[in-house]
Structure 1
Amino acid sequence: MNRFSKPRIAMTLTATITSLGQKGEGVVEIDGRKVFVPLALPGETIAFVAEGDRGTLVDILAAAPARIVPFCPHFGACGGCQLQHLDRPSYEAFKTALIETPLRFAGIETGVSRFIDASGNGRRRATMHARQEGSGYMRLRSHQVHDLDACPILVPALARAPDIARAAMLAIGEADIAFTATLSGLDVAVRTPKKQARAERLMPLVARFRLARLALNGDMVLQTQPPIVEMGRARVEVPVGSFLQATAAAETILADYVAEAVGKAESVADLFCGVGPFALRLAETRPVLALDNDKPGILALDKARRFTKNLREITAKARDLFREPLTRYELDTFDAVVLDPPRAGAQAQAEQLSMSKVKTIVMAACDPKTFARDAAILVGGGYTMENLVAVDQFVHSTHIELAAIFRR
């Protein structure tokens, strides 16, 4: 702006919200372009300010019947949840559409057969940010942190997570702190861009908050006892940074779904197996090949196998299934294959599976779009998809887990 320019004044507009976008924002059209307004719902007449394709809610002039009162006092400022203001039928319809729409675009006309609430006792995993302005989750549409006193969507064991995050910042400065509630206590992993961060300054947090383990930038600082989680009969020591489902309920629900889908298959491959939530349960009745590129996770799985009685053999190996997927010839030795890839999906592995003779494939996923892509590959190879389920562990957010069975 030069000295002759007049300051730009944002005008308040009035319009009716037509739909919800994929991020849970109300969509309104202005002069043929879409504007996305957080916290607004379809059917509502609102006053808002628009800047490009982003809108800011000023007032709700006529509320939608689907609007309910959020249960958390931080909702609307904290960006951790996006959908606490939406009633249950509309909420489930929105999340179901997140799954069905990408499948339809991929040429698969299959509906969700069940919507499963997998919130359980709350999330056992969370990542908070510690900055000068506070400790908690990022604000809505912001890189600033909303300061939290408590988060009601977490398990009770994580009640002091905001306090731990503040203490970490006081010790080493701005940081991101990942929390996992385990049977043996809290597992806390701190990350900071500061190269000179001194690990010893974090050590008092272990005694103060009775932590099971504390790590800094991927390296263990101090451990009073290994962080343990149960997986079927097994107990697994979770490595720093290894993947776990956000809720224990979701893990159990998905594991039960996998076991039922696999049925009496005598030989099973568990691909993208992580620390073994499926493999360790499946091995109670049959031998399993378990593969993942997470080497510490594979070692933890193998250790759990060795210390768990009455398990069948688990062959656990580190393998990058993105660059080196199991070939169709390797796959043909298995009756069933289970895969639970990360957000990027399993395109290379799906291509090999589509050419294989495997009778049953069970795929879980955390990204509906990459799932739809991979499902289309399998269907194109002659598989039929059935029993598509939505597993809602990230409640009140726009994330959704899903799983389906593919049969020859």
Structure 2
Amino acid sequence: MSITTTIEALGHKGEGVAIIDGQRVFVPFTLPGEQVAITVDGNRGALTGVLSSAPSRIEPFCPHFGTCGGCQLQHMDAQAYAAFKTELVETALRQAGLEASVERFIIAHGAGRRRATLHARKDSAGYMQLRSHDLLNLDACPILVPALKRAPDIARALGAAIGECDISFTATNAGLDVGIRKAAKGVKAEKLVPLGNALGLARLALGGEMVLLRQQPTVSMGRSEVDLPIGSFLQATAQAEQVLSDYVLAAIGKPKSIADLFCGIGPFALRLAEIAPVHAADSDRAGIAALDKAVRHTKGLKTVTARARDLFRDPLTRFELNFDTIVLDPPRAGAQAQVKEIAASKARHVVMIACDPKSFARDAAMLVQAGFILSDLVAVDQFAWSVHIELAATFRR
């Protein structure tokens, strides 16, 4: 049964919040102030009609929006979109006891996402539908880079050959790097070789193991070209990597030594090494090896010491942190153990990149309690039309 209600606010997942019989009900694809018709199942609402639209409502550009579970926010105009994402950051900081405002909101969608993961089955491939285990058989995804235009068709071809699996795509300088995960046991890697060749893939991996290498996938970072290891982290858009790198380079000043922690394959380390010697650490051994190789093949860099180290279990201690500047770019879980050591060290200057406002706020509060001052907080929007936001901030004692 459809009921009529008014949307009071937006939740942190971008869903409208309606109050029905004293209970909060979350309704995707709605905006504050709108009168809507919905069906209700527990605390979940499904939109059946917009009776009066918010001034900030716009027409989504993708025909799959509303069915596909990939994008949540295409119905918002630019101003409402930026305000919502900015509020995600500032709310997390307030909840951690910090009063700080986002100084700049930077759109970094660039040419689109250079990475995507599609689900494949015997007869279809695409993203999961919203709040569902049903698959949307995708013809095209307009938020991907043009080089990934073939991704749905490639995923369908692989799904037809091996059945249900997840397929990750990365657009690289050498072409498409494709990895198959969660395939049924007993899939024969050798049967995929002719298919990978026919599809023109640069590389194909199954369960993290290489099946086919026609050309080594590489990505450009600063003046370096880096071999991309299977499964290593890469920023979702090339523009976001550039924006974040520009931020880091501007924020570090003129240090004589730099630590780049959670360095990955070196998007910051390779650029920082043009300025000062860098100690780079990350748990991704293959990523560290790729960074090391890139350093050896790039002229004009200062010394880069790259070390494989699990900074969650074995952070650099307060006694090891003898660097003018520390740069951190942890995964979604944040850098609690490492930040604890930084807080207890004599370090005076930290630049932190983060992809989760809540873990960032927790870590930032630890630094502020240790006498650091948070400044130049920026939000970088690379995950277009989703509720994810990247952020960067500078801390000085």
Task: Give the TM interval when normalised to the shorter protein.
Answer: over 0.9
CA distance in 1, matches of 2:97, 2:28: 31
2:379 corresponds to:
390
d(CA) in 2 for partners of 1:395 and 1:49? 28
Query: Aligned with 1:100: secondary structure?
Result: helix
| Structure 1 unmatched runs, 5+ | 1-10
The equivalent residue for 1:282 is 272
Select 1:206's aligned residue among 174, 196, 199.
196
What letter corresponds to residue 395 of structure 1 in structure 2?
A
Spell out, residue by residue over 1:125-144, the C-alpha distance to the aligned partner (whole angstroms, 9 max, x if none): 01011125621111011111
C-alpha separation in 2, matches of 1:24 and 1:133: 32
CA distance in 1, matches of 2:183, 2:191: 16
Aligned-partner SS, 1:387: strand
Q: Secondary structure at the match of 2:333?
A: coil
Secondary structure of 2:247 counterpart = helix
Q: Name 2:396's counterpart in structure 1.
A: 407
Who is 1:296 aligned against?
286
Deviates more, 1:228-237 or 1:353-362: 353-362
- CA RMSD between the two structures: 0.9
Q: Which residue of 1 aligns with 2:326?
A: 337
For 1:320, give the aligned amino acid: D
Contact 2:245 2:267 in 1 (8 A): yes
The number of equivalent residue pairs is 397
User: 2:244 aligns to what SS in structure 1?
Assistant: helix
- Deviation string, structure 1 residues 73-107 (Cα, Å, up to 9, x no partner): 11111111010010111000000011000100111
Q: Where do residues 19-38 of structure 1 align in structure 2 (5 Å cutoff)?
A: 19-38=9-28
Which residue in 2 is equivalent to 1:4?
Answer: none
- Describe how 1:257-276 pairs up with structure 2 within 5 A: 257-276=247-266
- SS of 2:134's partner is coil
CA deviation vs aligned residue, 1:280-335 (integer Å, no higher than 9, x gap): 1101121100000000000000010111111111100000100111111111x100
Three-state SS of the structure 2 residue aligned to 1:119 is coil
Instruction: Summarize the Cα distance change of 1:301–1:347 in structure 2 as closer, same or farther, 3 Å threshold.
Output: same
| Counterpart secondary structure, 1:349 | helix
Q: Does 1:123 align with 2:113?
A: yes
Counterpart in the other structure of 2:56: 66
Deviation at 1:40?
1.2
1:44 maps to 2:46: no
Partner of 1:365: 354
What does the per-residue CA deviation read over 1:47-82, in whole Å, with 9 as the maximum and x for residues that have no partner?
A: 111110001111111111111000011111111101
CA distance in 1, matches of 2:14, 2:132: 16
Instruction: State how far apart, in whole Å, the 2-side matches of 1:189 and 1:49 are.
Output: 39
Tell me the amino acid that sits aligned with residue 246 of structure 1. Answer: A
Q: Is residue 32 of structure 2 the alignment partner of residue 15 of structure 1? A: no
Contact 1:172 1:201 in 2 (8 A): no
Distance 1:154 1:129 in 2: 16
Superposition pairs of residues 76-91 of structure 1, within 5 angstroms: 76-91=66-81
Q: Displaced runs of 4+ in structure 1, greater than 3 A? A: none
Match of 2:177 in 1: 187
SS in 1 for 2:310: coil
User: What does 1:124-273 align with in structure 2 at a 5 Å threshold?
Assistant: 124-132=114-122, 134-273=124-263
How far 1:209 moved relative to its partner?
2.3
Aligned residues with identical type, % of pairs = 64
TM-score, normalised on structure 2?
0.99
Residue pair 2:204, 2:211 contacting (<8 A) in 1 also? yes
TM-score (norm 1): 0.96
1:307 aligned residue: 297
1:211-242 CA-to-partner distances (Å, cap 9, x unmatched) read: 11000010000001110101101110010000
In the TM superposition, residue 20 of structure 1 has moved relative to its aligned partner by: 1.0
